[in-house]
């Protein structure tokens, strides 16, 4: 028997009594091989301890059947939903997904695109947060096709990538809703201003004048940012009566901290977030949120990328835009205050 550490595809083919091409078809789950032969080859592979060389296969078949997904923050509860949808869509076509966490760091986003070839993948789905200036240039030079999941940024039209975006109305929906339930002192809680800047821009545009004391910018999009925002607003002489949170994690942090401080939601302060992640329905009170259509956006981005890979398409880059939806829950219901005296 061949040395386990030096088992080659030729050794497997010889033991199974088939050709090398047949072994390759079994490994890659390709057509042109019977289920019986495939089962035999896979059994021999297991018995001999053969490990296919992904890089070598890639050179022969020109595809690795793998794609990469780069996300900004795996701690954000909406990211697992997006990653799951990408994985399910990829799995239907026999692809595996390698996940990369960029932490929304400009250098990491650029490095991911620049070094993507080293990961031995057929394509990249990236969900940029920082959007550094040289990103478009790197995408246009990328050795593999790129699909972009875009939230809250205006991307230049000359980027050579398929883009699935959300219409920039989530902030507008929130402000219109808070105004409609009679809130007049509306605050904003978000991450650094340059991140998902369109969400803050919607806040600005909805007000005749921004009271800067009602704006809190934290470091990121986490629960901790929400806690810090709640502490800040609680310290004000005149608290806001509503808060537009940049995302659900910040909104949840605010609501939980207010509960500790004795601030009632929505009676004292209404709170609305963005993402519509699963946690919004298990908090008390349940949190109103704008759905960013994460599952649909992720599925479409994956399908566009796989189609480009499999059909070897160049040019004709797609631009797909979905509309957000406001889901009103307990944290921002209209409160009718009694006037009995």
Peptide bond between residue 266 and the one before it cis (omega within 30 degrees of 0)? yes
Residue 135 CB contacts under 8 Å (≥ 6 apart), including other chains: 109, 110, 113, 128
The pLDDT of residue 340 is: 42
> What is the number of H-type helices and E-type strands within the chain?
12, 12
Domains and CATH numbers, the chain: 4-52 (1.10.260.40), 66-167+293-323 (3.40.50.2300), 170-292+327-332 (3.40.50.2300)
In the 8-state DSSP scheme, what is residue 66?
A: E
What does the pLDDT read at residue 341? 40
| Structure tokens given for 126 | 């990236």
Residue 334 CB coordination number (10 Å)? 12
pLDDT of residue 281: 94
Q: pTM to 2 decimals?
A: 0.69
Q: Look at residue 54 in the predicted model and tell me its pLDDT.
A: 53
Query: Distance between CA atoms of 292 and 297, rounded to whole angstroms?
Result: 8
Quote the DSSP letter at residue 310. Answer: H
- Do residues 115 and 60 lie in contact, with contact meaning Cβ atoms separated by under 8 Å? no
Q: Distance between CA atoms of 332 and 237, rounded to whole angstroms?
A: 22
Which residues on adjacent β-strands are paired with residue 187?
A: 243
Q: CA dist 73 to 26, 78, 83, 239, 298, Å?
A: 37, 9, 11, 31, 15
Structure tokens at 50: 């053969």
Dihedral of CA atoms 184, 190, 192, 196 in degrees, nearest 10, equals -100
> How far apart, in whole angstroms, are the C-alpha atoms of residue 275 and residue 247?
6
By CB atoms closer than 10 A (0-12, 13-18, 19+), residue 66 is middle
Cα separation of 271 and 288, whole Å? Answer: 7
Q: Is 298 exposed, middle or buried (0-12, 13-18, 19+ CB in 10 A)?
A: buried
CA distance 249 to 273: 8
8 Å CB contact between 148 and 161: yes
Q: Give the C-alpha separation, 94 to 68, whole Å.
A: 14
* Residue 49 structure tokens: 């301890």
- Going by their DSSP bridges, the two strands 319-322 and 123-126 should be labelled as unpaired
Give the model's pLDDT for residue 182: 95
Provide the residue-wise pLDDT of the chain in tens; the chain has 341 residues: 444 457 887 788 889 988 776 777 787 776 667 888 888 988 888 888 887 665 444 444 457 899 999 998 887 778 888 999 999 999 998 999 999 999 888 899 999 999 998 889 999 999 987 777 788 899 999 989 999 998 766 777 789 999 998 777 889 999 999 999 999 999 999 988 776 678 898 999 999 899 999 999 998 889 999 999 999 999 999 999 999 999 999 999 999 999 999 999 999 999 999 999 889 999 999 999 999 888 999 999 999 999 999 888 888 899 998 888 999 999 999 876 544 44
């Amino acid at each position: 028997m061949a040395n386990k550490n030096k088992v080659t595809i030729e050794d497997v083919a010889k033991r199974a009594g088939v050709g090398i091409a047949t072994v390759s078809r079994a490994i890659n789950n390709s057509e042109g091989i019977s289920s019986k032969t495939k089962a035999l080859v896979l059994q021999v592979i297991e018995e001999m301890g053969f490990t296919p060389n992904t890089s070598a296969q890639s050179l022969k078949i020109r595809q690795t059947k793998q794609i990469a997904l780069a996300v900004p923050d795996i701690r954000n509860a909406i990211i697992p939903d997006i990653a799951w949808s990408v994985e399910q869509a990829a799995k239907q076509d026999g692809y595996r997904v390698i996940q990369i966490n960029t932490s929304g760091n400009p250098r990491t986003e650029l490095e991911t695109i620049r070094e993507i070839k080293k990961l031995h993948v057929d394509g990249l789905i990236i969900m940029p947060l920082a959007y550094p200036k040289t990103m478009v240039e790197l995408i246009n030079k990328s050795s593999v096709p790129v699909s972009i999941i875009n939230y809250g940024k205006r991307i230049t039209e000359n980027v050579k990538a398929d883009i699935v975006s959300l219409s920039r109305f989530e902030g507008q929906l929130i402000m219109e809703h808070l105004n409609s339930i009679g809130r007049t002192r509306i605050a904003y809680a978000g991450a650094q201003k340059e991140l998902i800047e369109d969400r803050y821009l919607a806040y600005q545009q909805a007000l005749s004048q921004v009271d800067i004391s009602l704006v809190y910018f934290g470091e990121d999009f986490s629960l901790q940012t929400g806690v810090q925002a709640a502490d800040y607003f609680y310290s004000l002489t005149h608290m806001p009566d509503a808060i537009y949170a940049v995302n659900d994690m910040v909104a949840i942090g605010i609501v939980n901290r207010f509960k500790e401080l004795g601030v009632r939601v929505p009676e004292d302060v209404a709170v609305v977030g963005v993402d519509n992640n699963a946690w919004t329905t298990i908090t008390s009170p349940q949190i109103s949120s704008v759905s960013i259509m994460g599952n649909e956006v992720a599925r479409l981005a994956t399908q566009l990328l796989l189609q480009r890979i499999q059909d070897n398409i160049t040019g004709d880059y797609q631009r797909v835009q979905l509309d957000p939806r406001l889901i009103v829950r307990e944290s921002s219901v209209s409160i009718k205050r009694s006037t009995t005296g």
